[in-house]
């Protein structure tokens, strides 16, 4: 059995890495402890943050626990975020956006298949920034959510509609590559 | 002798060559190509499907081994022979490539160790909290339709078909047919001569091999008589005109 | 003027929100403090984490400061995240990565020359993992794309910059091994 402080640090690490609020029940399963024990630990972690005046707070939101920055630091965070590369599209985000733009409607699974890695993180960013939106459901089994680009996306790029996206063929290095790519492209666009 | 050709440990022909040379401690000139081939076929059969890249890598390697074997078979007479020097230079080039490759192979292990040691550190794949989104610069700032199209091309183009570097294999510059024609017309003109005289100007060892094959071809069609007094001695060639009836 | 502990919590909040290592210089601009003051603050935050046995550590990596979970918590994180975030790379991928790291900027052709086989497939994996990125174009004819390693690569290896890579010369085969290769290659003089 691990001591209380060990459990606390593992709990902190899990909450640190989580990108969504973590329900008590999930933590109970993870640490193989009853929910009331988890509640106790989480609350003691929260008190610890408060008492030691940390920049991080532990919040109970939307049915779960989540770490967040202390509101007092907001001015610094806003300046930091405004100046940092946070605003820039990463290469992964740019590629994901490009695939969504040219192959929409597209599911997470299709994106992962094309890029060879999960695109969930960048997709979430693109959705949060309003440039990618849900556009429907796959009629097939599983009913996967399908994604497409938003009106905001068109406006930012100065396009009236998707038909004004440049022809990919104009950007291909050579004709052979065009053939290879077309065979990989669906009938969509 | 058997050679354990475990395909999953080989990623390229230099890898396989390196393995044969440094791990098995064999002299490639003594490697039986048939044995290696048999092992290779057995392994691919076990895999169930043939990976094009591995298959072509294997062919390249087999060709390399054959060429090195041919180097071994022909006697090296003099160190000043320019042709031999060329061959040795070629061999040095391959040796250099092997050394460079072996270095990277070794350092790759070190990189992996470092990565493993750092596996335990997880950083946040931080999504910007909603309250800070307004403070962030416009995410599409600076993005043009052209840049987007370029990114789409990058993302949607499948990787190039696997290709194999053949630069370490000597190209055949003269075909057997050409060599036979050349040799026949020269013998018609000169009547006889030594093999060395005829092919002293051959550009590379592979050309010498082709010349020898041409001589054997003419011998088979009874257009030339061959004489060699002792092993590795001069080979003298004498032209045999076609039977008078055909002339 | 804000007190030391206030600065520390703002610093913690900024590092919490950052999605890549933050250089000391950026923090100096943000907090309007000289770099050596920032270093002092960062190190005291790091010590604080260590002494209070937190689940989070502060690392100096890829030319900046980065919060990460303590390796002790890794088993819980892997269970929590579901899969290993950074899956193992294949032998071919590691070799290619090593060549890119030491020979950057490097083209596909140069990679194939060194390995004796095309590296296109593994190169794509490395790019998708974010450890290799396009860094430019060869000015010569053909304008081959040139590749290099990314910040993520440094972070994954726990390096501050490329100069911390081990000396390549230390990994050269020794003279005995070279002799063996030489004699293995066929007739000598």
Segment B25-42, tens digit of pLDDT: 455 556 666 666 666 666
Nearest CA in chain B to A114: B156
Give, as one character, the DSSP assignment of residue A59: E
Mean pLDDT of C42-61: 93
The pLDDT score that the predictor gives to residue C70 is 93
- Take residue A25 and report the two structure tokens written for it: 């029940």
Between CA C98 and CA B103 the distance in angstroms is 10
Neighbours of A138 (CB within 10 A): 15
Between CA A167 and CA A186 the distance in angstroms is 15
Q: Average pLDDT of chain C? A: 87
Report for B5-14, B15-24, B47-56: range of highest mean pLDDT: B15-24
Q: Do A101 and B127 touch (CB under 8 A)?
A: no
Band the pLDDT of B7: cuts 50, 70, 90.
very low
Contact (CB, 8 A) for B127 and A121: yes
Whether a cis peptide bond, with omega within 30° of 0, leads into A105 is yes
Band the pLDDT of A81: cuts 50, 70, 90.
confident
Spatial strand order of the sheet with A106-107 comes to: A106-107, A145-149, A132-137
Mean pLDDT of A42-66: 90
Alpha-carbon separation of residue C77 from A91, B119, B186, C73, C183 (angstroms): 27, 11, 80, 6, 51
Q: Residue A92: CB partners within 8 Å, gap ≥ 6?
A: A115, A119, A122, C130
Chain A contacts of B132, Cβ < 8 Å? 77-78, 81
List alpha helices for A52-90, DSSP H: 74-83
Give, as one character, the DSSP assignment of residue A56: E
Band the pLDDT of C128: cuts 50, 70, 90.
confident
Confidence (pTM): 0.66
Nearest CA in chain C to A56: C13
Task: State the distance between the two ends of chain A, measured CA to CA, in whole angstroms.
Answer: 59
A181: pLDDT strictly greater than 80 = no
Contact (CB, 8 A) for A94 and B151: yes
Q: Which of B44-48, B209-213, C107-111 has the lowest mean pLDDT?
A: B44-48
Tell me if residue B198 falls in helix, strand or coil: helix
Those residues of chain A whose CB sits closer than 8 Å to some CB in chain C are: 5-6, 8-14, 16-18, 30-31, 52-56, 67, 69-70, 72-73, 76-77, 79-81, 83-86, 91-92, 115-117
Residue in C112, C172, C185, C188 to test binding to B, most B beta-carbons within 10 Å: C185
Band the pLDDT of B3: cuts 50, 70, 90.
very low
B8: pLDDT strictly greater than 50 = no
Contact (CB, 8 A) for A134 and A145: yes
The pLDDT score that the predictor gives to residue B112 is 92
Q: Per-residue pLDDT tens for A152-172?
A: 898 888 888 898 899 888 887
Which of C9, C17, C56 has its CB closest to that of A12?
C56
C105: pLDDT strictly greater than 90 = yes
Mean pLDDT of B136-163: 76
CA of C75 to nearest chain B CA: how many angstroms apart? 8
Nearest CA in chain A to B126: A19
Band the pLDDT of A25: cuts 50, 70, 90.
very high
Between CA A44 and CA A8 the distance in angstroms is 8
Dihedrals phi, psi of B174, to nearest 5 degrees: -125, 135
Which has the higher per-residue pLDDT, C31 or A142? Answer: C31
- Take residue C110 and report the two structure tokens written for it: 């140069």
Q: Average pLDDT of chain B? A: 71
Which has the higher per-residue pLDDT, B18 or C96? Answer: C96
Handedness of CA A164, A169, A173, A177 (dihedral sign): positive
List alpha helices for C82-116, DSSP H: 91-103, 108-115
Chain A contacts of B119, Cβ < 8 Å? none
- Take residue B219 and report the two structure tokens written for it: 């011998």
Which has the higher per-residue pLDDT, B156 or C22? Answer: C22
Q: Which of A22-36, A86-100, B164-178, B205-219 has the lowest mean pLDDT?
A: B164-178
The pLDDT score that the predictor gives to residue B32 is 65
Residue in C8, C10, C66 to test binding to A, most A beta-carbons within 10 Å: C10
Chain A contacts of C52, Cβ < 8 Å? 52
The pLDDT score that the predictor gives to residue B5 is 42
Between CA C161 and CA B53 the distance in angstroms is 34
Say if A13 is an interface residue toward chain B (CB within 8 Å). yes
- Regarding an ipTM greater than 0.85, the answer is no
Q: Average pLDDT of chain A? A: 83
Contact (CB, 8 A) for C108 and C145: yes
A67: pLDDT strictly greater than 60 = yes
Band the pLDDT of B6: cuts 50, 70, 90.
very low
CA-based nearest residue to B222, from B187, B172, B179: B187
Dihedrals phi, psi of A74, to nearest 5 degrees: -50, -45
What is the maximum alpha-carbon separation in chain C?
79
The pLDDT score that the predictor gives to residue A3 is 57
Alpha-carbon separation of residue A59 from A64, A108, A138, C75 (angstroms): 8, 30, 36, 24
The pLDDT score that the predictor gives to residue A129 is 81
Residue in C7, C16, C65 to test binding to A, most A beta-carbons within 10 Å: C16
Share of chain A above pLDDT 90, in %: 42
Q: Do B109 and C94 touch (CB under 8 A)?
A: yes
Between CA B122 and CA C86 the distance in angstroms is 9
Q: Do A166 and B149 touch (CB under 8 A)?
A: yes
Q: Do B155 and A81 touch (CB under 8 A)?
A: no
Tell me if residue C60 falls in helix, strand or coil: strand
Domains of chain A: 4-73 (1.10.10.10), 91-182 (1.10.10.10)
Between CA B187 and CA B238 the distance in angstroms is 7
Mean pLDDT of B94-106: 88
Which has the higher per-residue pLDDT, C34 or A177? Answer: C34
């Amino acid at each position: 059995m691990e001591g209380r402080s060990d459990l606390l640090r593992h709990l902190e690490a899990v909450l640190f890495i989580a990108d969504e609020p973590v329900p008590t029940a999930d933590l109970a399963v993870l640490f193989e402890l009853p929910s009331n024990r988890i509640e106790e630990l989480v609350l003691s972690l929260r008190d610890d943050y408060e008492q030691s005046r940390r920049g991080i707070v532990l919040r109970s939101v939307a049915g779960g626990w989540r770490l967040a920055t202390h509101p007092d630091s907001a001015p610094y965070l806003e300046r930091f975020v405004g100046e940092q590369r946070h605003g820039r599209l990463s290469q992964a985000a740019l590629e994901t956006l490009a695939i969504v733009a040219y192959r929409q409607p597209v599911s997470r699974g299709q994106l992962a298949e094309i890029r060879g890695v999960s695109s969930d993180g960048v997709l979430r960013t693109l959705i949060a920034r309003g440039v990618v939106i849900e556009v429907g459901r796959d009629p097939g089994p599983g009913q996967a959510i399908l994604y497409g680009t938003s009106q905001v996306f068109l406006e930012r790029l100065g396009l009236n509609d998707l038909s004004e996206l440049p022809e990919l063929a104009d950007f291909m290095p050579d004709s052979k590559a065009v053939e290879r790519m077309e065979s990989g492209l669906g009938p969509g666009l | 002798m058997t050679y354990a050709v475990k395909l999953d440990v080989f990623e390229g022909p230099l890898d396989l060559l390196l393995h044969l040379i440094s791990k098995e401690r064999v002299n490639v000139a003594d490697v039986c190509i048939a044995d290696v081939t048999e092992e290779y076929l057995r392994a691919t059969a076990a895999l169930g499907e043939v990976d094009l890249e591995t298959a072509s890598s294997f062919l390249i390697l087999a060709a390399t081994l054959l060429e090195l074997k041919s180097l071994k078979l022909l006697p090296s007479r003099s160190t000043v022979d320019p042709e031999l020097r060329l061959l040795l230079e070629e061999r040095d080039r391959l040796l250099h490539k092997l050394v460079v490759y072996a270095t990277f192979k070794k350092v790759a292990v070190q990189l992996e160790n470092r990565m493993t040691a750092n596996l335990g550190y997880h950083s946040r794949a931080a999504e910007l909290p909603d309250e800070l989104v307004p403070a962030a610069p416009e995410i599409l700032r600076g993005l043009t339709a052209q840049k987007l199209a370029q990114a789409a091309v990058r993302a949607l183009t499948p990787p190039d078909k696997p290709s194999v570097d053949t630069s370490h294999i000597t190209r055949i510059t003269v075909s057997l047919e050409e060599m036979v024609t050349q040799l026949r017309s020269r013998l018609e003109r000169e009547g006889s001569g030594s093999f060395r005289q005829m092919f002293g100007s051959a550009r590379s060892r592979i050309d010498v091999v082709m010349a020898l094959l041409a001589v054997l071809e003419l011998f088979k069609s009874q257009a030339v008589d061959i004489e060699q007094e002792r092993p590795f001695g001069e080979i003298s060639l004498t032209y045999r005109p076609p039977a008078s009836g055909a002339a």
